[in-house]
Amino acid sequence: MIILPAIDLYDGKVVRLTQGDYSRRREYQLSPVEAAKGFMAAGCSNIHVVDLEGAKEGVPKHLKELSEIAALGFFVQYGGGLRSAESVACALEAGADRVMAGSLIFKDMERASELSARFGEKIMAAVDLRGGRVVHSGWLESTALDAAEAVNRLSGMGFSSFLVTQTERDGMMAGTDASVYEALAARGRFIAAAGGVTDLHDIRALAAAGVDAAVIGKSLYEGGITLAEAMKACSE
């Protein structure tokens, strides 16, 4: 399993939200590049970058920071504000190796296959869960789909990678529910887990559930776990 340390961006700063609530935003006193260099020094080569301001505004706001982080040599997965195919293309051109799209996919699922056909493995479906259902548009709009239904349907439309986020656990440092992912893992799928990943128990539980990658954010910044510990637990 791969560890993906998270850098969430707002107004050029590294921040973390609690349960996606912009009024509960905490800023950290380091630049995006400084944060990325710290993760690289710990031996990490993959990184998860979220443009929170872009997600709020509906257009990417941190392509400059994306380019700077990509220039360090990371494999970068990037999301936030990618509400059009053109925005996806811009993010890839700016240095993203893989982009995460949720609203773009779930607002018009009938056309999702066009996105997978155009971008292939470079586009990842962001499956955000609240109350057991998929939500999008800043986690404010709900669908009738659960995680398995969404992943299975999108798999049939050509998607092969999925970021599945438990939004109610995001930023809470209260642990994740690995059972959410057990039914999703399948040959040919790449499943990344996010939301509440806090300690070594979470890392081991996700690995046992067949998850391919785990996103860790707040816990890295606030001492819940170190990146070195998390990466070591993946190989145990």
Three-state SS for 4-48 is EEEEEEECCEEEEEECCEEEEEEECCCCHHHHHHHHHHCCCCEEE
pTM to 2 decimal places: 0.94
Mean predicted lDDT score pLDDT of the chain: 93
Which residue type, as a one-letter code, is found at position 43? G
What DSSP string describes the chain? Answer: -EEEEEEEEETTEEEEEETTEEEEEEE-SS-HHHHHHHHHHTT--EEEEEEHHHHHHTS---HHHHHHHHTTT-EEEEESS--SHHHHHHHHHHT-SEEEESHHHHT-GGGHHHHHHHHGGGEEEEEEEETTEEEETTTTEE-S--HHHHHHHHHTTT--EEEEEEGGGTTS-S---THHHHTT--TT-EEEEESS--SHHHHHHHHHTT-SEEEE-HHHHTTS--HHHHHHHHT-
pLDDT at 164: 97
Environment class of residue 85 by beta-carbon count within 10 Å: exposed (0-12), middle (13-18) or buried (19+)? middle
Q: pLDDT tens across 192-202, in order?
A: 999 999 999 99
**8 catalytic per annotation:** yes
Distance in Å from the first CA to the final CA of the chain: 10
Q: pLDDT tens across 98-122, in order?
A: 999 999 999 999 889 999 999 999 9
Tell me the average pLDDT across 207-228. Answer: 94
Residues above pLDDT 90, as percent of the chain: 80
pLDDT at 126: 96
pLDDT at 167: 87
Residue 8: CB atoms within 10 Å? 27
Q: pLDDT tens across 20-49, in order?
A: 788 888 899 999 999 999 999 999 999 999
Distance CA 158, CA 116 (A): 6
pLDDT at 225: 93
Which of the four pLDDT bands, split at 50, 70 and 90, describes residue 174? confident
Say which of 51, 128, 170, 199 is annotated catalytic: 128
**11 catalytic per annotation:** no
Q: pLDDT tens across 45-78, in order?
A: 999 999 999 999 999 999 999 999 999 999 999 9
Q: In this structure, are residues 195 and 170 in contact, taking their beta carbons and an 8 Å threshold?
A: yes
List of domains in the chain: 2-234 (3.20.20.70)
